[in-house]
Amino acid sequence: MNALAEFTGNLAHYLKAPDIERIEEAYQFSGKAHEGQYRDSGEPYISHPLAVAGILADWHLDPQALMAALLHDVMEDTKVSKAEISKRFGKPVAELVDGLSKLGKIEFQSQQDAQAENFRKMLLAMARDVRVILIKLADRLHNMRTLDAVPPAKRRRVSRETLEIYAPIANRLGLNSLYQEMQELAFSHLHPLRYRVLAKATKAARGNRRQVVGKILDAIKKRLPETGIKAEVTGREKHLYSIYKKMLEKNLSFSQVLDIYGFRVVVEDTASCYLALGALHSLYKPVPGKFKDYIAIPKVNGYQALHTTLIGPFGTPVEIQIRTRDMHRVAEAGVASHWLYKTSDANLNELQHKTHSWLQSLLDIQNESGDAAEFLEHIKVDLFPDEVYVFTPKGKIMALPRGATAVDFAYAVHTQVGNRCVATKINYEPVPLRTELKNGDRVEIITAPHANPNPGWLNYVKTGKARSHIRHFLKTMHYEESVELGERLLNQALRALNTDLSEIGKELWEKLLRDITAKSREELFADIGLGKRFAAVVARRLLAASEQPLTEGNAGPIVIRGSEGMVVQFAKCCRPIPGDPIIGSIKKGQGIVIHTHDCPTAAKSRTDPDKWLDVEWAPEPARQFDVGVHVTVLNERGVLAKVAGAIAADGANIDGINMDEDRSPYTNMHFTLQVTDRQHLARIKRGLRRIPEVIRISRVRD
């Protein structure tokens, strides 16, 4: 009971007696529920919820959160239900506990699926109430502190999970002390030998450099009062994990990492931060490019300070952080400082607003993500710690992950801006959409009403929001196109059996959907369009249920317009264009692939007739098609301009060009042209033959 007495003693500093009584009641209830359960260390299980609640009490969290912390495992590990907790301790406490409970009653394909779904549930509960994640982080911190008792394999798995998910979330919420302790503990369990070697090297270096550090500390403490600045100055050793990361990222040995010491200067107000910076720059020379002003432009998690690196005695780099007391408080406790210090501080309000915006973005990503693993992938991307700060045309500052592009910026402004963006200007200059943004860039997005996301964007976007919105749009578009194509394929198969979709009654549809376990006609059409089901088989099952005799008819070919989208693809092996005789192959998950009749690749796989369809071009195709053309020319000045001019004169677009590096009298030019049909291509070839320098022209199939 000593641990309980110590815990309630801490509560007495900021809670009233009736609240403490309710928390004690939750402790008794949890103790009874977990009776007979023990941790891997051999301690009674109740010691864990009590330790978690103790961490939260240090942050001065409210009674509901403390009760939820004490009860956080009862739904998962005992027979206590959510309804029982709600009745006894109130609905808010029950909701918090439910948000923290794993999805133990659902069958998952794999451990990874289960983990991803648990994270999704927890993060969505956190988006509704940030206390969920604060309790979860305290829970994880205590588990990390007691990880020695668990088997090595589990120790590594939990440590990796902590480094990948929980530590970045703590950082994103501004919980700096928690973030650093989690990293240190995870590092010590994930790489115990490296941790011990580094700890030993740091201890030895501490002795060697003590005199230098003492000299720098004394010089700073002397200089600041001389310039009239009242400040607290402390020296601090860098954490082992941050030293290890620096060694890995910059490929350095320990002896090359000189800045293992840093100094923190805490002053009275913001103006004093800049005065202190000036005083220190006059004491030691600053390293160019190593100054960061996080006061004027705070980090996304609300962190504010001035960072500078100076060259100290004997050429030692010295990192210095300068901040006010309020900034220091937010830097250490982040979003938890809202509970720790009830205040109307404008900076804290800004921090709460940023946190709320981020949590809201989680809900947006959840709505767009298909499954839990994809959701978790997007969240991991968004927890990327480094930021770049850019400006909108109206001067608003936006923070994005390092490596973010103009497309990420467009989606950060608004989903519709992202979906409709066609071009961008950075610092008033037109640049490609894939351009990476740099600190201080002014970014302007140009949109068009009928523009859509490009699948190629997924190769370079960095933010979870952009990635999830692009994927969602493409999936929706793909699905709609698949439904339309599937309906056409099924109608064709039914016409081959002398009937039509319009003649199929509601009862037949319902029976078929029940038999094949499809949710709706739309889903069935989409499966046919994507090649997951064969239209001929579905048509026969539909008619078999009607008990009418099957008679063969003339189905007629599927008409290809060119506007079907991603579910109709044109084979790269033969590059068909309107006017070429064509045949369609059904590929599972991809839809129809169009080949020319004489394509050698298609000929190899035409053994299964069910997978091939009769197709024909629409009288007026809806777009232009790529075709390869080789042109052999005399190697003379200006010949490329003549050839390109002739192609343009016949209304074709040059999509790509390369030339053989040949110094002989002849040169081969390889064009990718966009044409409407074979007649268009023939006109282009006739135009090229009129050029005296053109020796030979041929269409390239592959």
Q: Angle at CA 261, nearest 5°, toward 258 and 263?
A: 135
Tokens of 245: 């990361």
Q: What CA–CA distance (Å, rounded) separates 418 from 441?
A: 18
Tokens of 420: 């409709």
Q: Residue 609 burial (CB < 10 Å; 0-12/13-18/19+)?
A: exposed
CA 466 to chain CA mean position, Å: 8
- Phi/psi at 166 (5° precision): -70, -45
Whether the CB-CB separation of 702 and 572 falls below 8 Å is answered with yes
**Unique residue bearing structure tokens 């960072």:** 307
CB atoms within 10 A of CB 466: 27
Whether the CB-CB separation of 95 and 127 falls below 8 Å is answered with no
Which of 19, 24, 62, 76 is an active site residue?
A: 76
SS3 17: helix
CB atoms within 10 A of CB 363: 12
Strand duo 591-596 + 568-570: pairing: parallel
Per the annotation, the verdict on 76 as an active-site residue is: yes
Which of 24, 25, 62, 77 is an active site residue?
A: 77
Q: What CA–CA distance (Å, rounded) separates 257 from 200?
A: 15
CB atoms within 10 A of CB 446: 15
H-run or E-run covering 668: strand 666-675
**Unique residue bearing structure tokens 């002053």:** 267
Per the annotation, the verdict on 77 as an active-site residue is: yes
Contacts of 628 by beta carbon, 8 Å cutoff, 6+ apart: 575, 670, 671, 672, 673, 699, 700, 701, 702
Catalytic residues: 76-77
